[in-house]
Chains A and B, each alone.
Chain A
C-alpha cells in the first residue's frame, strides 16, 4: 500500500541534543513538507521541498534543518538551537510542487517530541 510513514511515533530528547525525525513516502510525490502542531494552535510550516535536492524555509525554520537527497525521504533534524522543541511534528507529501500541499496531500501519523 502506498503511504507516508513517520518514525518514531514518540521521541524523547535531552536538552542540548539534536534529534532527527524520519519521513518516508512511497507515493512518488515530488513535494514534501514538515509542520509543527502545538496545543491550541494551527499547523505551522517548518520546511518544504518541491523536488529532490531542493528545499525552502517555511514560517518557523529557525532551529531546524532538513535534507532531500532522495525523493522518498525528507528527514527533519531538531537542533539544540530550537528553544522550545516539544511539539507534535507532521510530515506531508503531495504531487503538486507548491508551497502548500493542497487537497491531495497525504499526512503522516506524526511524531510527538518531548524534551526531558
Chain B
C-alpha cells in the first residue's frame, strides 16, 4: 500500500498475471474515489472511479474494491500487460469537494 516518504511502493509482476494495487485513504467522510494511471513524463489518465455507496466496480480489465470499514481502496488489473507499467495513484474527494491524491505505486510488468 501507499506510505509517506520519498520512495514510492513498487509492484513487479509477470505479463499475464493479475495485479493488485492498494491505497489507504484518510478521510472517513470521503464520498468519491478515483484511480489514475501516470506513465513516465506524462499527465495522469483516469482509469476508474467509485462512489462511497458502492463496494465494487468493474471496468475493462480493471476492478476497484472499496472497504470503508478500514478505509482501504484497491485496484485489480487482470492479465497485466507491459503497457500497464506506470505509476498508479488513488484520489479521494471530501464531501465539500477537495480532492486529495495519494503518492502512487510503481507497477512494472515484465514480459
Contact = CB atoms under 8 A, between A and B. Distances in A.
B43 A110 contact: yes
Interface stretch (A11-19, A41-49, A64-72, A73-81): A41-49
A40 B105 CA distance: 9
Interface string B33-48: 0100000011111100
The secondary-structure label for the interface of chain A is loop
A41 B103 contact: yes
A44 B103 CA distance: 10
A52 B5 CA distance: 37
A91 B101 CA distance: 15
Given A40-B6, A40-B7, A103-B49, A110 B42 contact: yes
- Range class of the A interface residue count: 20 to 34
A90 interface: yes
The secondary-structure label for the interface of chain B is loop
A9 B43 CA distance: 11
A73 to B, nearest CB: 17
Contacts of B45: 107
Given A103-B49, A108-B43, A109-B41, A42 B8 contact: no
A105 B7 CA distance: 27
A43 B34 CA distance: 13
Nearest to B90: A42
Contacts of B89: 42
Given A39-B6, A40-B5, A42-B104, A99 B99 contact: yes
Contact of B8 (A40, A101, A104, A108): A40
Given A43-B91, A44-B101, A45-B99, 13 more contacts: A39-B6, A40-B7, A40-B103, A42-B91, A42-B101, A42-B103, A43-B101, A99-B98, A100-B99, A101-B99, A105-B46, A109-B41, A109-B42
20 contacts: A9-B41, A39-B6, A40-B8, A42-B89, A42-B100, A42-B104, A43-B44, A90-B43, A99-B97, A99-B99, A100-B93, A103-B34, A103-B46, A103-B49, A107-B44, A107-B45, A108-B43, A110-B41, A110-B42, A112-B41
